[in-house]
Structure 1
Amino acid sequence: MEIYYNESSTLNSKFSKSDFVRFIENFPEPICILTLKERQYPDHFIYANEAAVKLTGMEKEDIYLYSWEDMFGVPSDSDFEALKNEHRSKMYKANSSPLKKNLEGRALKVSGHAIELEDGNRYLILTIIDVTEHQDTRNKLKKSTREFESLFYHNPDIVFTINPEGIFTNSNATGLKILKYSYNEITSMSFRNLIVPEDLDVTNDYFFEVLKGNTAEFKISVINREGSVFNIDITAVPTILDGEVVEVICVARDITEQIRIENLLKESEQRYRALFEHNIDPVITFDLEGNFLVVNDATEKILGVPSEELIGKPFLPFIDKNKQMETIANFQKVQSGRPHQYETSLHNHKGEHVLLHITVIPVFIESKLSAVHCIGKDITNIKRNEDKANFMAYHDMLTGLGNQRLFQKDLRSVIETQTSEKHNSAVLMIDLDRFKFINDYLGHEMGDALLQQVSERLVKIMGHDGTVYRYAGDEFTIIMQNINESKVLLKAQTLISEIGKHFDLDGFEAILTASIGISLFPKHATDIKGLMRASDHAMYYAKRQGRNNYQMYNAQIEGLSKTDLHMETLLHKALDKQEFVLYYQPQYDAATLEVSGIEALLRWNSKDLGMVSPADFIPLAEETGMIVPIGEWVIREACSQNKEWQRQGLPPVPVSVNLSLRQFYQTDLVEKVGLILKETKLDPKYLELEITETIAMQPDIAIHVLNELKAIGVLIAMDDFGTGYSSLNYLRRFPIDHLKIDKAFVQGIQQDEEDRSIIATIIALGHNLNMPVIAEGVETEEQANLLKSYKCDMFQGYLYSRPLPAEMIPAKFK
């Protein structure tokens, strides 16, 4: 044959005619060239490359002998005419083509392209591709799709799919029928809408496990659209694409149907045999002595013993020894002729502990009991999950202690079962003082660590004398049974003492105290609600007494609690009603007795309660958090008043304001103080902020805050020195301007040698650190003279002046 090609100078310079022949001859796909009959229809083969020869399995010369119709077995016009003339009852037999003979069973894709050459002749370029493997893959995919659709849509069990967000994406007809939802309704809702509340947590656990790529099988209760509740066994399988779970396929079985099938087993040996052989659970037939007669594969698997070694042997040795007597009794019950269910446990030959739910069914032949069928369900995982769910329901996950629900359950049991009238049972309500502040400032992680340490300490202290519970937040409860009152009080004192010892939080030394309220059964109340109310009121009274103490409930506490509740309501409105007022107590230079400073003291003049003592409302303000906005008002009012005295021509002296611990650790304290000074135009050196030693609980943070305050120019005084937690090292590092001796030491200075020693030490310490010392609560000349002998720098107390309204202060400068 001749190959025509472009005679252009460019191609001619690069490729020869033989090159073009080699291109086609070595092309990897089969290529044939045919003449065209009447320039239109394929006629004879005139060329086939090596790939075409290899595909057809023919010699190249043989290929050239065939026409298009002969090679592919395509009927000609004459064939069609002959077919028309054949009798209808006869079958027309087409001639077999060589291509069909050689490539029987193969699928070919044939493509033709007509090309007209320069001489006007037209030829057909034919490419042939073997697509057998591709066609097989498509056919297999279609078959697999049909099989899956058949399994999904025609399955008698509930079959549905869920996306990773838990939304239904599909459901078969069985699911829609049982759940009573339409397809559109079910595919727009979460599976969680169908779960009964008590099963929701464990269902979520399994769902997340499947999203990790694991298969899960579990039992839950669901509610259909009509409100009917039924139990189902679910097998959930992940659909994984490119290593990611894209969908969850679930098959759910109604247990009611399973029970119906088990009952049918008693009526039909054939049905029993089918269930026996294919059951995933152990199915066994025992003789009346409890020996194995027949076992299925699942029995061999769960016991770890081949069937031939089981037949004729008793089942009892497999049962755990502590369950054997109970199992014998349950087995004997079925011999009365009635099916029976029970739970037992065993250790198989692999050493695994297995929990089983057993159904034993009597087998009657001609009305005579002849054997016992047994169906075992491995409930090991189910029981573990039930135990886990039960533990979670009755225990606090952070501390491992019983929670409020278990506390009330146990307390109810104590109330119902206590018979002795000689002893009481006690309820102790423990509230951690200022825990919310520590938790907010140090963060919840440190707060949780502190709660764990507190719980461990409480359990260790109580030992066998009582049970500790985490009631809520930073509240713990303890139940002590059949105990006398004196022992309860002794244990409460021990709790207060031990809780007050420092806690180590990753190197941070935290100091914590507690307030404890105690109520007794049946002395104070005979029901849960009454006991809790009594212990809660006693605990709140303990807080009013200054925290870090315990109180036993009594009728007086009940009345005070009601007053406190009313007071708390009024306190929240007092700031807006402008009911707070400041009184001022001058501080005097010990040598000249001239006014050298003034302390601002908060008072509450309530329209409903009258003048309320700070000892009554300050602890309440701290507990509720109201101390922060109240404290800010005090600083602003004191600065404004001091500036006003200066305008009146009084000698400028610092005004002192007490800072609560909660105020001190507010993140914007320094910023607020700076703004107040700017608003009131008071020179910062005339504002002194009084802190207590409790800030030493967090020394590094305290030093940072104090340095920032000093940077804006205010003075710092350490109030109530000698009663707190600070060490000499902290005092040396704190930028303190004044030390204030607590009035408790001053009041005992005349009678108590120890108080005198403490005062002398504090004054000497202050002077060594270049800190002037102020003595509070000076009420007698004798006290003043003793303090002067110790070289105390400043006095404050009733001997010189009571706290006064602002308008009476100017007279003290004369």
Structure 2
Amino acid sequence: MNVVEIHYDESETLNSKFNKNDFIRFIENFPEPICILTLRERQYPDRFIYANTAAVKLTGMEMEDICSYSWEDMFELPSDSAFEALENEDSSKAHKADNTTPLKKNLEGKALKVDGHAIELEGGDRYLVLTIIDVTEHQDTRNKLKKSKKEFESLFYYNPNLVFTISPEGNITNFNEAGLKILKYSLEEITGIGFRELIIPEDFQLTKNYFYEVLKGKTAEFQISIYDNEGTVLRIDVTAVPTILDGEVVEVIGIARDITEQIRIESLLKESEQRYRALFDHNIDPVITFDLEGKFLVVNEATEKILGVPAKELIGKPFLPFIDEHKQKETIANFQKVYSGLPHQYETSLQKQNGEQVLLHITVIPLFTERKLTAVHCIGKDITVIKRNEEQANYMAYHDMLTGIGNQRLFREDLLRIIESQSSEKLSSAVILIDLDRFKFINDYLGHEMGDALLRQVSERLVKIMGSDGTVYRYAGDEFTIIMQGMDESKVHRKAQALVSEIGAPFDIDGFEAILTASIGISLFPKHAIDIKGLMRASDHAMYYAKRHGRNNYQIYNTQIEGLSKTDLRMETLLHKAIDKKEFVLYYQPQYDATTHKISGLEALLRWNSKDLGMVSPIDFIPLAEETGMIVPIGEWVIREACNQNKEWQRQGLPPVPVSVNLSLRQFYQTDLVEKIELILKETKLDPKYLELEITETIALQPDIAIRVLNELKSIGVLIAMDDFGTGYSSLNYIRRFPIDHLKIDKAFVQGIQQDEEDRSIIATIITLGHNLSMSVIAEGVETEEQAELLKTYNCDMFQGYLFSRPVPAEMILAMFK
């Protein structure tokens, strides 16, 4: 082994204090491991030639073992590059002893700091003095610090919540990117401002108290509201911790989570839960949750009440025993439909413990938990009263309230069913129309109460006569109808004879003997007609034929009756074609303002200029149109034509005024009347306020329906006038409830205004009534100046009559405005 000779300076200063052995002792006892290596080519580390006690202790090898290795053997590093590393800044880096070097035995895995310095001795030889320090603990600490720093930076900069630091003075010193984005600040804007500026005033004192607690070294958790940079209030959940250095709090670190949306959702959930509880617990209808086997899981108070069983006795039990036996199978099938995952509704009935039957409308709703059907919600609606009312309403809709037998509606539906279903041509179905002779006289003489009693007895007698051979209906007033289905004509004759005979027998009405006869008309299906309209018309003709032949008899429709009615039938046939042949025309009679004398409206009046019959008076064809139902399409044509003409006058520059059109009773009660008028107004582009519909008081015969229809008409914007007021059947109560714009005084009163004091009183009353009900009043049939002047004294609003103008063709209206 080569021993390093230490060059000893013989200077007096050193010589006087230390000798050679002292210097050796210095090196040997130096606390840091020191090794000396030779330098190959005076530059690169070569072989170990010395190791002090500390190096021997560190490596766990004897010095002889150490000195048996070269640099490359010991560290497995090339001497040239290693030495260059020692001479630059990389020398501070640690060397890791791995499992292949001689250092493995005691230093495997440890970090060594190797630091070398080349020293040239007095004789010119150069050596490498190498220090080897175990920096494993230092390196671990450094790595931990580095890791901790990275973790803190990751927590700070990449946290999705707000992360910030605050100085002990309360100023913000740093803020993460997510927090800046939430608060809509830049780092420059927020750094340095006091946290007080961000907190709503109500929460500042609370925050301040927590801040002082953290400055004392404690951790705080609290919720406050803060402003973002745009002034929006956010609710945050804050955790604040102190940063302590040398026992002193140097900084406060805060992590805040924006819980604004969470609180909103929680509030909504709470509200939803409250609503659910309100709907469930306080619902007046039974609300139940069943398991999938139909057993009670949860019930509300209404369920207990309707079943008459406490909730604790219901839970876990099946619902089926509560269902009526005859409804159980159907109810199970309906309940199980909810297994498809869709809500389902059905009706059932249950039997209460007291034996009372309850009808229920059931809604079952599937309840899913994590997409799995787990239970069934059920809402029950007690429809017992509703069903009974429906049955009663249905009965009332199809039965005559006076006699209890079927009404006209039921008659028509039954007859239609027979027409559609009868397949045999060998047998006939008969429609028998019965009109009671002289009933009006009896009714007027004895009074309506006695008349009603008589009608009840007639219906009872008819039902008894027909037995199972026919069904009796009260068609209208004193008219009854009978349907005999699938009979031969001989049996129809026998029954008709029995009807005439039995009806002619005296009736006893509270001791008063009433003698009544009947005129009966009969039509046969399919012999005489194949639809309701044809059958009724044939029966009607036969019945009138029976009346013309002395009444108290029956007639079956035949060609002779057809011949007697040929005039009416010819007119009816031509009437059906009149619209298509464009034979109808409208004349217009102006209505004048009583004060300004200007035209304030126009009434459209229908005329029929038949190519076969010539100009037919409305007196002749309007009743026929009413009877046959043709009045409906004719009336629709009148409305459309009047709207078109009024729109055309407006395009020509005439002052816009309403045009009035008469509505027949049959038209008024058409179910699609309002829709048709809306369509016509849309097609003609006429503003609804320029169309006025004139009705008569006869609509008051069905006041509730009339009020509904009138309100629907008013809702689309048209005007309503009541024509011929004072001659009909309406009471003041109905007039008050009708949405009427104009009252029209019947011309019969106007014609007698000069001579008849009663007519003048009636007119004055009508005008006062109209004004008190916010209606304008129009006088019809004004023919003289005297009539007009008298009407003015009563404050009549408008005049219509020959004094001002007769009805004229549309082309003459232009000149009248000018």
TM above 0.5, one fold?
Answer: no
TM-score, length basis structure 1 = 0.36
Structure of larger gyration radius: 2
